């Protein structure tokens, strides 16, 4: 039923043909169940396992690798080859692809759990009135029109309209739906607002929320998918997982690389058509197959098979670093996504604030005789820990607060007139509250005030363990004052009172809304001398002015304390006893901002990241917090920068689009507003990080580019998120963004390394085919280099140190290619050199090496025509393993030097020496050790068709490889000093790689 909050109880009951005193009868229940269905969230059909598996292979590079593996396998079978070597290459390729697919399936399976976890917030049973009798039924059996009774601790089983409150007060904790920091009071009164948000629907009980105070009856108005929780479920199930920026750029790069590879392979095959009939092949068909194998080898060489594994490894390293920062990553790609975040939509409660209500101000009457009778104290400490001090108006610490009369009575009242508790959890090493946040705040205040009696009290308290200290002072007062009766808080009185006895004296302690306490006071306690004097008009006016200052200027939540003496022996307490009170003190409390948040927001600003605060709390409270933490400056005009959810809904679509560009605060929002905000920002090509902790946040977390849940949040929010903040701290997000940027820079470096190396392999094979010389490298050698010797240094590049200026540059644009034109030109230059020297080492052995055959050029290029006995040399020299081993060794060594080049994109090795990344030195050492292993261990040498090299051969390998460092130093010099010049602009204007101009939806 829509709009039930704006209709009277009788109208709602009439709509469902229900009776408030008898409920529905069995026939009506059956009819309504036929119409509305069962009170259950719909089951979502997940993607089948095999569809998930096939999805992992829906990538162009992967498809090319699969085709290459299959062709290699078929060619080996057709040629009748035996042994392990011919089948090694396709087997390894398929094993790598299978491993990557397994990781992808596991990741996507975990993502489906969020929808299942949402069902945990459905109640199991409900107390329902049917046929005039109360009975307990499964919550799934409820139908609209049912009359349900709820009490303290009950989980609301469906959306319901209050019909009757059976206690003096009804409060409900609906933070998981609205994000409000405290439980809210409910009433059965009509709310005439047509477009009320959840927070304004004070006569509606929402499914999944919990009753914290009171007892009531309500009529069911929505079940299953038609509840507020059901709408969240629908929004989550409709959210489509999209590619992260890195995945998108890698796919674009892969598509481009695939086209280049296909073109080169075809070109190599076509160029060699004239060689198909060479006698060495034994026929045109076999010649065509031979050069087709070369084309396949070229594809294997060009595709960086290890790239997915290295990217995954680098992101995994990032998750470990983030875990140390209290950021637990659930989705690996989100590590990098953080790096290009342009907008952070942050929840207020618990993220920007501590989510621990604490007293920050105390106002007492110093003396009625003074011109300014009031005095204010400041209280430090922003958590539930009994850590903090009382300070005077000049910010000087009060050494013994309990020696001041008003503060002493304030501590008594805070301890006795209180139903909450605080305890220290030894296992989690945290302070935990039980009860209302405001009551917990004044209980903690009593600990900060301490006890009177001896001068060593403040220091002696520190001698206790945390478990003993947490409520030591409160326990002391509870032992001194024996409670006799309690008068609970009610809306009409707006206060709570406790009757107690101490030392043959009976007292009433009261706490409540300041205006209610002021009305009932006839005297005040003076702080300077402890005398009780009349509550004069002057004092009342001063207190009301101070209340206005606390509430409006500082947006503090205020409570006032009072007491009175009653006749000894009184055993009952009534509202009549709450008059002729003596005013003690007024306290102002707030959910304080975290100390490190202000500097974290400043870092976001310098990094070009916009922060938008999104909260369910009131506009005034939220604006005040935003001024404290630096989202707004003290005198900023907030028009156009601060909206409530209702205000934003009233704007036209064009006005909303313009408002999204400037807004910094959304207050009084409901779940749909958060999702709308994420969608609107993404339509404007922003990369959005959204934080949240409640069930209400889950749809927005799932829709955002990166969803960040709080460690203390609900399982639903965590399940829908990409990352969880263990410490619930906004500053952790900023640290994670810096790490994400560093990871992206490192990703670019090892992509540069691997691609330039692979280009070298392509050039090597292409040159050999074009020149007509024997194969310099066979596929199994290329596969070993790509996966093992290249893979380790590439992974080690993920340990490159974070740039000190990483948070002083703007986020990269969504359409920025992962490799721009100038960078790709550098790839080609370095790759061409790698390929050239690899072939040069091969040719050197045949033509110039003293221990080699010393052939002539035309003898090398016509090796196919060699006939044994007709030449001055044996044709078997073309089967010698030395030249191929030299080529492979040159390729390995030159790539180790090239790894050193990639410590920094543009910084010289003189400025960024190798010992800046010791892991890279270790990786290069291990890679070379593995290369020596296959050269000097005979079974492996046979498997990879290599042989040990002499010292002379190693010298040639070294001197051919070393100049790659000098060449890259020259290119880095150009990048640093000709930045923005004609060379750079030329390649920026005509990027070799495709760019997405619009965001993929």
CA dist 504 and 776 (Å) reads: 104
Give the position of tokens 């004609």: 982
Whether residue 490 contacts residue 570, with contact meaning beta carbons closer than 8 Å, is answered with no
Whether residue 730 contacts residue 597, with contact meaning beta carbons closer than 8 Å, is answered with yes
Q: Is 347 marked active-site?
A: yes
CA dist 314 and 354 (Å) reads: 33
CA dist 564 and 579 (Å) reads: 9
Helices (H), 417-513: 437-449, 457-461, 466-469, 472-480
Whether residue 363 contacts residue 374, with contact meaning beta carbons closer than 8 Å, is answered with yes
CA dist 84 and 741 (Å) reads: 44
CA dist 603 and 596 (Å) reads: 11
Nearest to 202 by CA among 232, 166, 171: 171
CA dist 597 and 161 (Å) reads: 40
**List 59, 159, 278, 347, catalytic entry:** 347
| Distance, C-alpha 420 to centroid of its chain | 33
Give the position of tokens 């229940």: 29
Whether residue 966 contacts residue 835, with contact meaning beta carbons closer than 8 Å, is answered with no
Whether residue 619 contacts residue 627, with contact meaning beta carbons closer than 8 Å, is answered with no
CA dist 671 and 673 (Å) reads: 5
CA dist 460 and 463 (Å) reads: 5
CA dist 701 and 722 (Å) reads: 8
CA dist 788 and 927 (Å) reads: 7
Give the position of tokens 């020299």: 877
CA dist 366 and 888 (Å) reads: 89
At 162 the three-state DSSP class reads: strand
Give the position of tokens 């000709």: 978
In the numeric block, which tokens belong to residue 990?
A: 């005509």
CA dist 421 and 878 (Å) reads: 87
Whether residue 431 contacts residue 384, with contact meaning beta carbons closer than 8 Å, is answered with yes
Phi and psi, residue 778, nearest 5°: -95, 160
Whether residue 999 contacts residue 685, with contact meaning beta carbons closer than 8 Å, is answered with yes
| Distance, C-alpha 526 to centroid of its chain | 52
Size of the chain, expressed as the number of residues it contains? 1001
Residue positions annotated with a catalytic role: 347
């Amino acid at each position: 039923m829509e709009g039930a909050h704006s209709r009277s109880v009788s109208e709602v009951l009439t709509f469902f043909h229900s009776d408030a005193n008898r409920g529905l009868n069995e026939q009506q229940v059956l009819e309504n169940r036929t119409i509305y269905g069962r009170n259950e969230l719909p089951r979502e059909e997940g993607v089948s396992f095999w569809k998930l598996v096939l999805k992992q292979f829906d990538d162009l590079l992967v498809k090319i690798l699969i085709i290459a593996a299959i062709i290699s396998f078929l060619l080996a079978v057709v040629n009748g080859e035996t042994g392990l070597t011919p089948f090694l290459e396709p087997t390894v390729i398929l094993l790598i692809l299978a491993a990557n697919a397994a990781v992808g399936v596991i990741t996507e399976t975990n993502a489906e759990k969020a929808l299942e976890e949402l069902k945990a917030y459905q109640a199991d049973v409900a107390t329902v009135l049917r046929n005039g009798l109360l009975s307990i039924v499964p919550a799934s059996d409820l139908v609209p029109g049912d009359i349900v009774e709820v009490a303290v601790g009950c989980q609301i089983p469906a959306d319901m309209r209050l019909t009757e409150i059976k206690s003096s007060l009804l409060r409900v904790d609906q933070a998981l739906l609205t994000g409000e920091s405290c439980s809210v009071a409910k009433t059965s009164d009509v709310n005439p607002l047509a477009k009320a948000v959840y927070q304004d629907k004070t006569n509606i009980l929402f499914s999944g929320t919990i009753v914290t105070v009171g007892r009531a009856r309500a009529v069911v108005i929505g079940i299953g998918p038609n509840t507020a929780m059901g709408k969240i479920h629908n929004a989550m199930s409709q959210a489509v997982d999209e590619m992260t920026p890195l995945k998108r750029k890698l796919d674009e790069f892969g598509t481009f690389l695939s086209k280049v590879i296909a073109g080169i392979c075809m070109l190599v095959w076509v160029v060699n058509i004239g060689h198909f009939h060479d006698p060495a092949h034994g026929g045109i068909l076999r010649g065509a197959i031979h050069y087709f194998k070369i084309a396949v080898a070229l594809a294997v060489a060009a595709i960086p098979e290890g790239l997915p594994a290295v990217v995954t490894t680098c992101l995994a390293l990032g998750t470990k670093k983030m875990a140390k920062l209290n950021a637990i990553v659930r989705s690996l790609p989100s590590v990098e996504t953080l790096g290009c975040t342009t907008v952070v939509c942050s929840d207020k409660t618990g993220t920007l604030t501590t989510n621990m209500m604490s007293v920050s101000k105390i106002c007492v009457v110093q003396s009625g005789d003074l011109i300014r009778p009031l005095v204010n104290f400041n209280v430090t400490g922003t958590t539930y820990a009994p850590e903090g001090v009382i300070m005077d108006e000049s910010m000087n610490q009060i050494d013994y607060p309990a020696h001041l009369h008003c503060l002493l009575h304030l501590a008594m009242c805070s301890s006795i007139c209180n139903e909450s508790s605080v305890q220290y959890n030894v296992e989690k090493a945290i302070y935990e509250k039980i009860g209302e946040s405001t009551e917990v705040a004044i209980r903690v205040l009593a600990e900060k005030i301490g006890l009177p009696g001896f001068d060593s009290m403040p220091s002696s308290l520190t001698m206790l363990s945390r478990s003993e200290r947490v409520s030591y002072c409160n326990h002391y007062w509870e032992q001194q004052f024996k409670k006799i009766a309690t008068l609970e808080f009610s809306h009409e009185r707006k206060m709570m009172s406790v009757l107690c006895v101490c030392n043959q004296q009976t007292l009433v302690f009261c706490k409540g809304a300041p205006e209610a306490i002021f009305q009932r006071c006839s005297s005040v306690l003076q702080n300077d001398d402890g005398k009780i004097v009349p509550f004069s008009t002057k004092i009342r006016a001063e207190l009301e002015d101070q209340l206005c200052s606390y509430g409006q200027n500082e947006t503090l939540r205020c409570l006032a304390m009072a007491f009175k003496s009653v006749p000894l022996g009184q055993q009952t307490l009534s509202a009549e006893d709450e008059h002729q009170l003596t005013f003690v003190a007024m306290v102002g409390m707030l959910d304080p901002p975290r100390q490190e948040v202000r500097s974290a927001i400043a870092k976001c600003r310098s990094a070009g990241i916009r922060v938008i605060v999104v909260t369910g709390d009131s506009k005034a409270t939220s604006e005040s917090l935003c001024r404290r933490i630096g989202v707004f400056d003290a005198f900023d005009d907030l028009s156009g920068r601060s909206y409530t959810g209702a205000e934003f809904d009233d704007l036209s679509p064009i006005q909303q689009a313009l408002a999204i560009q400037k807004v910094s605060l959304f207050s009084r929002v409901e779940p749909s507003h958060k999702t709308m905000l994420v969608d609107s920002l993404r339509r404007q090509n922003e990369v959005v990080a959204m934080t949240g902790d409640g069930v209400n946040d889950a749809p927005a977390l799932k829709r955002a580019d990166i969803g960040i849940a709080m460690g203390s949040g609900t399982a639903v929010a965590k399940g829908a998120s990409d990352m969880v903040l263990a410490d619930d701290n906004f500053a952790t997000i900023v640290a994670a963004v810096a790490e994400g940027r560093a990871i992206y820079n490192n990703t670019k470096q090892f992509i540069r390394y691997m691609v330039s190396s692979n280009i070298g392999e392509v050039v090597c094979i292409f040159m050999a085919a074009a020149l007509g010389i024997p194969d310099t490298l066979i596929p199994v050698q290329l596969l070993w280099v790509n996966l093992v010797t290249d893979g380790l240094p590439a992974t080690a590049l993920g340990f490159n140190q974070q740039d000190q200026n990483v948070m002083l540059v703007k986020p990269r644009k969504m359409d920025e290619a992962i490799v721009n034109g100038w960078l790709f030109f550098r790839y080609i230059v370095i790759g061409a050199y790698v390929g050239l020297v690899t072939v040069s080492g091969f040719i050197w052995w045949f033509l110039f090496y003293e221990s080699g055959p010393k052939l002539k050029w035309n003898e090398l290029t016509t090796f196919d025509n060699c006939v044994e006995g007709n030449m001055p040399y044996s044709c078997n020299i073309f089967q010698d393993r030395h030249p191929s081993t030299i080529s492979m060794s040159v390729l390995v060594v030159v790539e180790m030097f090239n790894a050193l080049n990639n410590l920094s994109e543009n910084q010289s090795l003189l400025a960024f020496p190798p010992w800046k990344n010791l892991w890279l030195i270790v990786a290069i050492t291990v890679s070379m050790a593995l290369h020596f292993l296959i050269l000097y261990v005979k079974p492996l040498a046979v498997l990879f068709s290599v042989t040990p090299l002499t010292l002379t051969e190693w010298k040639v390998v070294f001197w051919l490889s070393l100049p790659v460092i000098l060449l890259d130093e020259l290119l880095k010099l150009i990048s640093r000093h000709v930045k923005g010049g004609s060379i750079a602009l030329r390649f920026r204007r005509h990027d070799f790689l495709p760019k997405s101009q619009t965001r993929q939806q």
